[in-house]
Chain A
């Protein structure tokens, strides 16, 4: 598959009075055409900042792109002039956001918002654009599309609004869709429907997708590959199956262990990762996960190399967490040996997921 996006050593800082906040600190990843990549991490891990810097939508200042290249096809988005960047936004790379309640303009009807990218990028006539808008609404599963065009955002439910957002995002046939926590603000059944919709559009349109989330359950069912971010750095990267079957970074282990299981009796407290996310204003030397890591060693004070630990599988950790001796050592610090995580539960039990079959 053709390489669509290649981000190399991306560093983004926010200037504050107390000093720079290292929001994204040397992130490198790539994406092929038509591929779905999941970026997982907790709040403040830099996943949203990464995606916003791809589209160069961070307010600068205070944000500052300190280092790195963002090669999209042949262009380096990191130093493209703003006018050319505008031609990329919406046309080549589109984005949908977490809260469909606030990302639609409340005073414009759906039609004018759907038509916007068509007018901006495809120079469509009013009539053509209207026709296309109806098609788009139907494509994202909004019934009675011709009449709904005239409606305003507040007349839609949350799930419907997210469908409209997706329709707007795919209007100009972008090659890459960045979905920043697209289901976080929705209830669980609607979440599954939206994920199914994104997956279907990807199949039908061949759009590559970057799915950003803090919910491993969300990415499990729909992504080809997953990047786990922690403190602005990539902790681990692997194909989805590999990551769930054979996690190699202690942080990933912690994340997987903290997913509650419906098929287990609630006899104990929910698993958590002790401690809190690091302060990126004063980053500690070496691996940022040290203070919370049960596997921590003296040499963690220097940042571990980003090592290949398997086919298409890399992790930034000194420790081989699969080594029983290491697990034994870590269990003294509260590590509970890793249970096999059954994945693919996102959507599997939902109505939308069933329609897949």
Chain B
């Protein structure tokens, strides 16, 4: 492509946009979001607590030195059942003499896994449904949104209890599928709303003039623009899923022994509310803190990812 000397003339008339100071100040997109997030101290605190919990759960075998709650050196030992904090068992033992710290960490693994996997599955379903409905509109939208409405209008717990008995075998994947099946509709609405707004934007028309097909427009052009709200919704779904799993497990519709989650631990410790209340408080507080932290982090992300938030 031949360049005429008008290029040089043109650039001469362009004030140099990038001064060294500006270049130093220039931050990447990720950096801007990161800076905005770190300015929200509460959200950062939530993130740190979650990181600690996750690491503790992931490395539970190393921390406790056992591969499950039944393993040596902490074999169930009925002689120290319901001991309360004693040397070697900082959080005491449960009614079967199992180390409560180990149970909390291994239970956390299940609760967090259910939360995070449910969020991932939920996002997958919700993005598929929401983007198709929002992008194509018309009867596609009509059908998909009525299905969504139907899911949103069922009495959640009753249906979950029934399905947990009939569909679920008490394994983590089955619980994840079950919860995700009822979490996706609200997220799908968020995604649909985003797509509905974004598809009218001019850059989409511009991409279409270049010959991009529908799939490319949806995946490459709209989806990244909707990433913020979707990520935020995902973090909130994690908290929601952990609570739902806890409720299911509390009513013994969730994971089955020997697998335990914080919810099923709550269920087990109901009988000891007066003799050893610590057994009830520990999983309860763990659920509370985890869900709270996910929600705080979600709020922080919402602000950090919102391009219209002004710098504070």
Contacts and interface: CB of A to CB of B under 8 A. Distances in A.
Interface in A103-144: 103-108, 116-117, 120-121, 135-136, 138-139, 141, 143-144
Contacts, number: 109
Contacts of B209: 55, 57, 89-90, 94-95, 169
Count chain A CB atoms within 10 A of each CB in B5, B29, B209, B220 and give the residue with the most. B209
B52 interface: no
B11 A141 contact: yes
Contact of B210 (A117, A139, A197, A354): A117
B275 interface: no
A34 B77 CA distance: 90
Contacts of B221: 105, 108
B211 A351 contact: no
A103 B202 contact: yes
A253 interface: no
Contacts of B29: 107, 152
A189 B13 CA distance: 10
A87 B211 contact: yes
B210 A103 contact: no
A220 interface: no
B167 interface: no
A57 B2 CA distance: 32
B202 A141 contact: no
Given A143-B14, A351-B9, A352-B10, A204 B211 contact: no
B311 interface: no
Contacts of B4: 200, 204, 355
Given A117-B211, A155-B26, A196-B6, A106 B203 contact: yes
B208 A103 contact: no
A102 B203 contact: yes
Interface in B211-225: 211-213, 220-221, 224-225
Interface string B173-203: 0000000000000000000000000000111
A352 B18 contact: no
Given A89-B211, A94-B210, A103 B205 contact: yes
| Main SS class of interface, B | helix
A168 interface: yes
A99 B201 CA distance: 11
Interface residues of B, number: 34
A135 B209 CA distance: 21
B85 interface: no
B1 interface: yes
Nearest to A105: B203
Contacts of A106: 203, 225, 307
Contacts of A97: 202, 205-206
6 contacts: A55-B209, A90-B210, A105-B225, A106-B307, A107-B227, A352-B13
Contacts of A152: 29
B206 A141 contact: no
Nearest to A205: B1
Nearest to B206: A103
A91 B202 CA distance: 20
B205 A57 contact: yes
Contact of A355 (B10, B18, B26, B205): B10
Nearest to B213: A86
Contacts of B6: 141, 196, 200, 352, 355-356
B211 A107 contact: no
B21 interface: no
B1 A139 contact: yes
B198 to A, nearest CB: 10
Count chain A CB atoms within 10 A of each CB in B1, B29, B208 and give the residue with the most. B1
A204 B2 CA distance: 7
Nearest to B208: A57
B48 interface: no
Interface string A188-216: 01000100110010001100000000000
A356 B209 CA distance: 30
Contacts of A139: 1, 3
Contacts of B207: 105, 116
Contacts of B3: 138-139
A55 B205 CA distance: 11
A226 interface: no
B252 to A, nearest CB: 46
Nearest to A203: B4
B134 to A, nearest CB: 15
A355 B208 CA distance: 34
Contacts of A95: 206, 209
A141 B1 CA distance: 12
A104 B221 CA distance: 10
A172 B4 CA distance: 21
A102 B3 CA distance: 28
A157 B22 CA distance: 14
Contacts of B206: 95-97, 103-104, 165, 168
Given A105-B221, A116-B207, 8 more contacts: A95-B209, A108-B220, A116-B210, A116-B212, A117-B211, A139-B1, A205-B1, A356-B6
B5 A108 contact: no
Contacts of A138: 1, 3, 7
Contacts of A120: 210-212
A300 interface: no
A256 B1 CA distance: 37
A99 B1 CA distance: 26
A88 interface: yes
B202 A144 contact: no
Contact of B211 (A91, A108, A160): A91
A84 to B, nearest CB: 10
Contacts of A117: 210-211
B7 A141 contact: yes
A117 B213 CA distance: 12
A184 B224 CA distance: 29
B19 to A, nearest CB: 13
